[in-house]
Amino acid sequence: MSNVPSNLKYAASHEWVLKNADGTVTVGISDHAQEALGDLVFVELPEVGAHYDAEKEIAVVESVKAAADVYAPIAGTVTEVNQAAVDAPESVNADAYAAWLFKMTPDNIADVDTLLDAAAYQAVADAA
């Protein structure tokens, strides 16, 4: 069973979202997603300052098995990217929740509350 922290929100497309005190959100891929992909060898992140609509492709993670798109879980503007994840893609495999991918300022912070909670995401992950 995958690790699904209860303090996060999730998209059905396997991204996790953490609300930050400054009004931004931190986004990464779930433990289930990194497990399904296998050993990551490449991470491509969005440009800082770029705006994305919810559910649009925002990043790419590649493993030895496959490439997977990462989607914007909510609409917003990218404020920071995690260069460490680009430099060491295996860090996402080691701890998918510590190795975040990007931060964004949401168009509407309330959109985070429409995402899945841990129990609902676990059901999606179990069904995958």
Tens of pLDDT, residues 13-51: 999 999 999 999 999 999 999 999 999 999 999 999 999
- The count of C-alpha atoms lying within 13 angstroms of the C-alpha of 118, restricted to the half-sphere facing its C-beta, is 10
Can you give the pLDDT at residue 94?
96
Give the SS3 label for residue 12.
coil
Q: pLDDT tens for residues 106-124?
A: 999 999 999 999 999 999 9
Q: How, if at all, do strands 67-71 and 102-106 pair?
A: unpaired
Question: What 3-state DSSP class applies to 68?
Answer: strand
Q: Is the per-residue pLDDT at 1 higher than 80?
A: no
Statement: residue 128 has pLDDT above 90? no
- Both tokens of residue 65? 């098995």
Question: How far is residue 28's CA from residue 104's CA, in Å, rounded to a whole number?
Answer: 11
Q: Which CATH class is domain 9-110?
A: mainly beta
In the DSSP assignment, the letter for residue 46 is: P
Q: Write out the two tokens for 27.
A: 């986004």
pLDDT-derived band at 2 (thresholds 50, 70, 90) equals low
